[in-house]
Chains A and B, each alone.
Chain A
Amino acid sequence: MTTRKLEILVGAFVALSIAALMLLALKVANAGVAGSDQSYQLLATFDNIGGLKVRSPVKVGGVVVGRVANIHLDPEQFQPVVTLEINSSYNNFPETSSLAILTSGLLGEQYIGLQPGFVDESVEILGNGDHIEDTKSAIVLEELIGQFLFNRGNQ
């Protein structure tokens, strides 16, 4: 076989593999938040993060606005501190916003739900490095069962 014919076939092969890569990158993986590289960081402290993991999504009303960048334990207060990386196009959350650790579906993964708070003249907008005060920890099943039994016992 001539070199020219081989070159054409090899070129087609490489083109096919690039097409496969495009398919995987665009249609299969989420090109969403990974695409835009502008983001800012917010911090929040919880009592219990439950099953929250790094890279878990941050959602407002079900829409992904960012990801969990880091989880570490405050060495003095012994409380978990979560670093959120929020997409820069969502940059006007008021400081009265609250965070809760929710579960998607019954057996699904855990994510952070952000509920924007009320806005008036005295309320500031959250910027890079700010701390969100109002946080609700994850629901721990044992505590829930304990509460339920306690309530039953009281009746």
Chain B
Amino acid sequence: MILDKLQQVGAATLETIQGFGRATLMLAGALWGRPRFVKAWPLYIKQFYVVGVLSLLIIVVSGLFIGMVLALQGYTVLSKFGAEQMLGPLVALSLLRELGPVVTALLFAGRAGSALTAEIGLMKATEQLSGMEMMAVDPLRRIIAPRLWAGVICMPLLALIFTAVGILGGHLVGVDWLGVDAGGYWSAMQANVDFEQDVLNGIIKSTVFAFLVTVIALHKGFDAVPTSEGISRATTQTVVTASLAVLGFDFVLTAVMFGG
């Protein structure tokens, strides 16, 4: 009985490691050689649109609401210590260091990540990838590479927009509604937020997350079992695995950047 369980654990571990290997091979194949940006420009633009522009709505709305909620909750606690003027830094630092990169990555994994997995899985199931290979066109270069670059570039940009909108949302609630001094909101923020430490670190985090989410989404789609059940399972796995990876790496990065 125990031997069976051990065997299952061993098999699962080997399966995971094999998955890493296949993902790395896929990545290497997609990035090998000069990216033919000029000839394949329309492909890249289309992916930037699908991955980036179409995610704007959910990112902006979420950023706005999270900024507003932060200000609301933060004000309630800070006013107990007479520290309302720290609302600006509270909202800004929370968003810049943590919520901006992480929440954007989670939303991105759910929206764009699952869409990528489903699309590629479906192309695999209808033999479009095979067909492309037989026509001497490398599907890694043509299909995977544009989506990879689109994800890695667009997600940090989305995180920036999320954070900025959140801070403005915090301003909306804090200053316009709860009565925190407008000048105080921004000046306390400026005194406590450092460009290199907070803004740049946040950008680094969101770039790492972008890479993780996009690679996981593309790999799960590329590797999916080409049946309808297989695709649905791959899509679910993308969201779960990507979210866990983001949260895990967030801990590591936070410890490295802000642990002191």
Question: Could you list which residues of chain A lie within 8 angstroms of chain B, going by C-beta atoms?
Answer: 1, 3, 6-7, 9-10, 12-14, 16-17, 19-21, 23-25, 27-32, 34, 53, 55, 107
Q: Residues of B contacting A10 with CB < 8 Å?
A: 45, 48-49, 52-53
Known contacts A20-B160, A23-B164: A3-B42 contact under CB 8 Å = yes
| CA of A55 to CA of B164, assembled, Å | 25
Q: Is the CB of A7 within 8 A of B45?
A: yes
Q: Residues of A contacting B167 with CB < 8 Å?
A: 23-24, 28
Q: Is the CB of A34 within 8 A of B49?
A: no
Chain B 146-185 interface mask (CB, 8 Å, partner A; 1/0): 0000000010011011011101000000000000000000
Known contacts A9-B49, A10-B48, A14-B157: A24-B164 contact under CB 8 Å = yes
Complex partner residue of B160 from A7, A21, A27, CB under 8 angstroms? A21
Q: Residues of B contacting A53 with CB < 8 Å?
A: 260
Is B186 located at the chain interface by the 8 A CB criterion? yes
Q: Residues of B contacting A31 with CB < 8 Å?
A: 190, 195
Q: Residues of A contacting B191 with CB < 8 Å?
A: 30
Is B46 located at the chain interface by the 8 A CB criterion? yes
Q: Is the CB of B196 within 8 A of A24?
A: no
Q: Is the CB of A28 within 8 A of B92?
A: yes
Find the B residue at minimum CB distance from A32: B190
Is B81 located at the chain interface by the 8 A CB criterion? yes
Q: Residues of B contacting A29 with CB < 8 Å?
A: 190, 193-195, 198-199
In the A-B complex, list the 6 residue pairs whose CB atoms are closest, starting with the nearest.
Answer: A17-B157, A20-B164, A29-B195, A20-B160, A30-B190, A10-B48
Is B96 located at the chain interface by the 8 A CB criterion? yes
Q: A1-B49, A28-B186 are in contact. List 6 more A-B contacts (CB 8 A).
A: A6-B45, A6-B46, A24-B167, A28-B199, A30-B194, A32-B190
